[in-house]
A and B are shown apart, each in its own frame.
Chain A
C-alpha cells in the first residue's frame, strides 16, 4: 500500500516538474552546449538560414482549348550559397485530370504528380511546365487548381549540423583581438564595479538602519536605480555626461572647475596629476564603472540592510554598557555580522557584472576602451557577423566563470573548515 502511494507521489512529482524543467533545459542548458558546438565551426550570420526548394505555381489557360490547361511552376533554390540535394516534388490535381507529354523526371499516379528533380546548386532556377487535359472532356476550373499548393522537399547541409570542425575561432579570440586587453578591461569593470557597489551598499544600509524621518521613503528611493529600465537610465546618463551640452559639463564649466568640457564616455585616457606624478586613468571605463556602481549598489544595500535588521539589539546594548565608541561598534559588531552576506553578494555581483552587457553597450557601445567580453560576443557575432567566433568568446566567458566559482568555493570551503 505504502509502496504504491510512494509511486504515485513520484509520478505526480515528475508530471508537475517536467514542463518547467523541459523549458529551462531547452532554453538555458541546450544553448550552452550548442555554444561549444558552434564555437568549433566556421559559421557566419548569413549561413544560418536553411536553404529550401521553392515553387511558385502559375495556372494558364490555353486559348481555344477549354479542356486543356497549362501549369507553370517557377522553381528555385532559396539559398545563394548552398546546394539542395534530392529535391522531390508533389502536387495534387482534380480527379479527372490527365497529364500530356510528361517530363521524364516525373510520374503521375492517383491524381498526384511526383517528380524527382535531383540536385539543385545554389541560385538554381527553373521554369517547369505541365499540360493537363480532362479525361471526360469537361471544362477546367482554374480556382480549384490554384488552391492546392505543391510540396517540395530536399536535403541540404545545415552548416550547423555537419561535422567539419576548426580551431580557427579560438585562435582568433585568443591571439588576434588583443585578448589580454579585453580580459583586463573585463576584470577592472567587474572587480571595481562589484567592490564599489558593496562598499556603497554597506554605507547606505548603515545609514538607513538608523532612525530618521522619511526612512521608508529613503529606502524606496535607494532602490530606484535598480528597478528602473536600463535603457532609460543609460540614455539619461548619456545626456547628463554629454560633452557638448550635457548638464554635468555645463555645470562644471559654469562653476569654473574645468575650462573645456570632458568627454567622459568617449575618451579612453585622461592624465591625472597626483602629488606631482602623472597617472593615466581609463576615463570611459571609470565612468562606466561608476554607472554600474550607481545602478547595482541597491542590491547590496537591500541584502545588507536585511541582515543588519536581524542583528540582535542586545549586542549593541552590551557594547554601550562597556563604553564602546560608534566606530568600535561598527567594526567589532556590525562588520563581522555581515561578512557572510558580503561574501555571497560578492559572488553574485561578480558573476553578474562579469556578464553584464546592456549597460556598457548602451553607454559606449564598447568604444574608447570599454570593450568587455560580453560586448565582444555581440561585436563578433552580430557586428562582424562571425557567429563562430562569437560563440568561442561565450565559451571563454563560461570557462572563466567556472574557474572563478571553483576558486571561490574552494576559498570559502577553507574558511568554513577553519571556523
Chain B
C-alpha cells in the first residue's frame, strides 16, 4: 500500500515538475534562445527520482542541504549535460526546483500512509497545476501584447520567436510605436472621445438611475414589481437585435457619428444593471433615517441628495466604475454608428486600424495596450468594489 502511494506520489509530482519546466522553457524560447526539445522523458525521470529520494531520505538529511543537492544535480544534468544553456536559464530552473521541493515537503512517510492519500495527492497537485497553467494561459496573451508593441516589424519577421526587449536602444526607440500612433493616427483624440463618452455615460446613468432605484427600493406604486422584473429581462435582451432599428432611426435623426447618439445608447443599455444594483443597496439602508427626514419636511429630492447618496457612496462608486468599464469596452454600437474617423472611440479606432492590412502589428498592439491599460488599472485598483458589482449585476458581455 505504502509503496504504491509513494510511486503514485512520485509520478504525479514529477508531472507537475514537467509542466513547470516546460512553461519555463517556452518562455526561454521566446527570448530568442534556440531550444528545440522539451526533454520530457529526462525531466520526468529526474522529477520522479527527486520525489522518490525525497520520501526515502525523509528527515535524515537537513532540508536545505537536500534542496541544494537535488537542485544542483538536476541543473547539472538538464542545463549542462543535455543542452548547454545560459546561466539565467539555470537560475530559473533552480528557483522552480526550490519551489517544487518546498511544495513536496509536506508529503512525508506519514501522510503517504494515510487513508485517501492518493486522492489528496491528486487533488493537491491538480490545484497547483491548475494555478500554474491558468496563470500562464491567461497572462500569456497580455504579455504578448505588451512585448510586441515594443518590437519592430523587421525584428518580428526575422525571428518570430524572439520577444526579448532590447532596453539598450533608448527610450525613444523602445516606445516608437506609441509615438507613431499618437502622431500619425491621432490616438490622443480617440482617447479623449472614449473618455468623454465613458464619463458622460457614467454621469447620465447615475442621474437617471439613482432616483429610479430609490423609487423601486422605497416607494409603493402601481407597476413596481412589473418594473423591477422587466429591468432584469431587458438586461438579457441582445444588443445585436437593437442594431438595425437604431441604425435606421439614428440615420434619419442625424445622430450617427455623434457622441450624443452613443451616449443615449450606452446610457439606455447600462441603466437596467445600474438600477438593479443600486436598488439592492438602497434597500439595506435603514428606513428610520428617511422617516426622520420626512418629519423634517424634506422633499424627495432632499432625501435623495442629503441622505441616500451620502450613505451609498460605495455602491454608487462601484456602479460608476462598472458602467465606465462597459462604456469604455463597448464595441458593437461604436462599430455600427461611427464611420467618420473624427468621431471614433478607441475600440473603433483600433478596429479601423486593423482593417488596413499594411498597418504594422506593433502599432495595433500599442493601441491595444493603450485601450487595455486604463481598464486593468481601474480593475486592479478598485477590485473590491468591482467584484461585488460583478456578482450583483455581472458585466454584460
Residues of A that sit less than 8 Å from B by CB: 6, 9-10, 12-17, 19-21, 23-24, 26-32, 34-35, 38, 43, 48-50, 158, 160, 203-204, 206-207, 210, 212, 218-233, 235-237, 239-240, 245-247, 250-251, 254-256, 294, 296, 299, 302-303, 306, 323, 325-327, 348, 351-352, 354-355, 357-358, 361-362, 374, 377-378, 381-382, 387, 390-391, 394, 397-398, 401
Q: How far is the CA of A155 from the CA of B219 in the complex (A)?
A: 47
Q: Closest residue of chain B to A351, judged by CB? A: B236
Please tell me if the beta carbons of B142 and A224 are within 8 angstroms of each other in the complex. Answer: yes
Please tell me if the beta carbons of B160 and A235 are within 8 angstroms of each other in the complex. Answer: no
Encode contact with A along B297-309: 1 for CB under 8 Å, 0 otherwise.
0001000000000
Interface residues of B in 101-160 (CB under 8 A from A): 115-116, 119-120, 122-123, 127, 130-131, 134-135, 137-139, 141-142, 144-145, 148, 156-157, 160
Encode contact with A along B256-281: 1 for CB under 8 Å, 0 otherwise.
00000000110111011001000000
Contacts of A327 in B (CB 8 A): 119, 123
Please tell me if the beta carbons of A20 and B161 are within 8 angstroms of each other in the complex. Answer: no
The answer to whether B375 has its CB under 8 Å from any CB of chain A is yes
Please tell me if the beta carbons of B395 and A227 are within 8 angstroms of each other in the complex. Answer: yes
Selected contact of A28 from candidates B234, B275, B350, CB within 8 Å: B234
Contacts of B119 in A (CB 8 A): 325-327
Closest beta carbon of chain B to A278's beta carbon, Å? 27
Contacts of A26 in B (CB 8 A): 268
Q: How far is the CA of A302 from the CA of B395 in the complex (A)?
A: 11
Contacts of B208 in A (CB 8 A): 19-20, 23
Please tell me if the beta carbons of A377 and B240 are within 8 angstroms of each other in the complex. Answer: yes
Selected contact of B242 from candidates A14, A17, A27, A226, CB within 8 Å: A27
Please tell me if the beta carbons of A355 and B264 are within 8 angstroms of each other in the complex. Answer: no
Interchain residue pairs with CB less than 8 A apart (26): A21-B227, A23-B208, A23-B267, A23-B268, A28-B269, A32-B242, A160-B248, A218-B135, A223-B390, A232-B367, A232-B368, A235-B354, A236-B368, A239-B361, A251-B29, A296-B397, A299-B395, A303-B394, A327-B119, A354-B238, A355-B239, A355-B241, A357-B240, A357-B332, A387-B244, A397-B240
Closest beta carbon of chain A to B379's beta carbon, Å? 5
Contacts of B251 in A (CB 8 A): 48-49
For the complex of A and B, list the 7 residue pairs with the smallest distance between their C-beta atoms, beginning with the closest: A27-B268, A355-B238, A232-B368, A34-B245, A31-B245, A13-B221, A16-B211
Selected contact of B221 from candidates A9, A160, A230, A323, CB within 8 Å: A9
> Known contacts A31-B249, A204-B130, A232-B368; can you find 9 more A-B pairs with CB under 8 A?
A13-B221, A20-B212, A218-B131, A224-B139, A232-B369, A235-B350, A303-B391, A352-B236, A387-B248
Interface residues of B in 347-397 (CB under 8 A from A): 347, 350-351, 354, 361, 364-365, 367-369, 371-372, 375-376, 379-380, 383, 386-387, 390-391, 394-397
Closest beta carbon of chain B to A343's beta carbon, Å? 15
Selected contact of B241 from candidates A15, A229, A394, CB within 8 Å: A394
Please tell me if the beta carbons of A49 and B138 are within 8 angstroms of each other in the complex. Answer: no
Interface residues of B in 191-234 (CB under 8 A from A): 208-209, 211-212, 214-216, 219-222, 224, 227, 234
Q: How far is the CA of A17 from the CA of B26 in the complex (A)?
A: 56
Selected contact of A358 from candidates B242, B332, B376, B386, CB within 8 Å: B332
Q: How far is the CA of A204 from the CA of B269 in the complex (A)?
A: 30
How many residues of chain B get a CB closer than 8 Å to chain A's CBs?
A: 103
Comparing B63-71, B166-174, B323-331, the segment that makes contact with chain A is B323-331
Please tell me if the beta carbons of B241 and A228 are within 8 angstroms of each other in the complex. Answer: no
Selected contact of B234 from candidates A24, A35, A401, CB within 8 Å: A24
Contacts of B36 in A (CB 8 A): 254-256
Given A24-B268, A226-B397, is A210 in contact with B127 using a C-beta cutoff of 8 Å? yes
Q: Closest residue of chain A to B331, judged by CB? A: A358
Please tell me if the beta carbons of B161 and A251 are within 8 angstroms of each other in the complex. Answer: yes
Q: Closest residue of chain B to A376, judged by CB? A: B240
The answer to whether B311 has its CB under 8 Å from any CB of chain A is no
Contacts of B328 in A (CB 8 A): 229
Contacts of A31 in B (CB 8 A): 241-242, 244-246, 249
The answer to whether B88 has its CB under 8 Å from any CB of chain A is no
Contacts of A230 in B (CB 8 A): 329, 331, 347, 397
Please tell me if the beta carbons of A228 and B376 are within 8 angstroms of each other in the complex. Answer: yes
Please tell me if the beta carbons of B236 and A245 are within 8 angstroms of each other in the complex. Answer: no
Q: How far is the CA of A31 from the CA of B243 in the complex (A)?
A: 8
Closest beta carbon of chain B to A393's beta carbon, Å? 9
Contacts of B123 in A (CB 8 A): 326-327
What number of A-B contacts does a CB cutoff of 8 Å give? 284
The answer to whether B37 has its CB under 8 Å from any CB of chain A is yes
Residue of B215, B249, B375 with most partner-chain A CB within 10 A: B215
Please tell me if the beta carbons of A27 and B241 are within 8 angstroms of each other in the complex. Answer: no
Closest beta carbon of chain A to B167's beta carbon, Å? 21
Contacts of B211 in A (CB 8 A): 15-17, 19-20
Contacts of B134 in A (CB 8 A): 204, 207, 222
Q: How far is the CA of A348 from the CA of B379 in the complex (A)?
A: 23
Please tell me if the beta carbons of B300 and A302 are within 8 angstroms of each other in the complex. Answer: no
Please tell me if the beta carbons of B383 and A220 are within 8 angstroms of each other in the complex. Answer: yes
Contacts of A212 in B (CB 8 A): 127, 131
Please tell me if the beta carbons of B236 and A34 are within 8 angstroms of each other in the complex. Answer: no
Please tell me if the beta carbons of A394 and B135 are within 8 angstroms of each other in the complex. Answer: no
Contacts of B142 in A (CB 8 A): 224, 228, 236
Closest beta carbon of chain B to A184's beta carbon, Å? 19
Residue of A34, A207, A247, A390 with most partner-chain B CB within 10 A: A247
Please tell me if the beta carbons of A254 and B391 are within 8 angstroms of each other in the complex. Answer: no
